[in-house]
């Protein structure tokens, strides 16, 4: 099972490749749940 850190790194990789703001929004909403 992927750790939150792995998910974050993978998400940022997707953001850099696609430049889709939606990924950033989803990440911003997901991070508080991991805190």
Q: What is the pTM of this model?
A: 0.39
Can you read off the two tokens belonging to residue 27? 């990440």
Give the integer Cα–Cα distance in Å for 20 and 35: 24
The rounded Cα 22 to chain-centroid distance in angstroms is 10
| Number of domains making up the chain | 1
Q: Which residues, 6 or more positions from 15, have their beta carbon under 8 angstroms from its beta carbon? A: 23, 24, 27
Query: What is the residue range of 8's domain?
Result: 4-34
> Is residue 3's pLDDT more than 70?
yes
Q: Which residues, 6 or more positions from 12, have their beta carbon under 8 angstroms from its beta carbon? A: 27
Encode pLDDT of 18-34 as tens digits.
Answer: 766 777 788 788 777 66
Whole-number percent of the chain with pLDDT over 90: 0
Cα-Cα-Cα-Cα dihedral sign, residues 15, 17, 20, 21: positive
Predicted pLDDT of residue 34: 62
> Is residue 35's pLDDT more than 60?
no
């Amino acid at each position: 099972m992927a750790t939150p850190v792995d998910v974050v790194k993978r998400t940022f990789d997707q953001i850099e490749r696609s430049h889709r703001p939606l990924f950033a929004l989803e990440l911003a909403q997901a991070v508080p749940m991991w805190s």
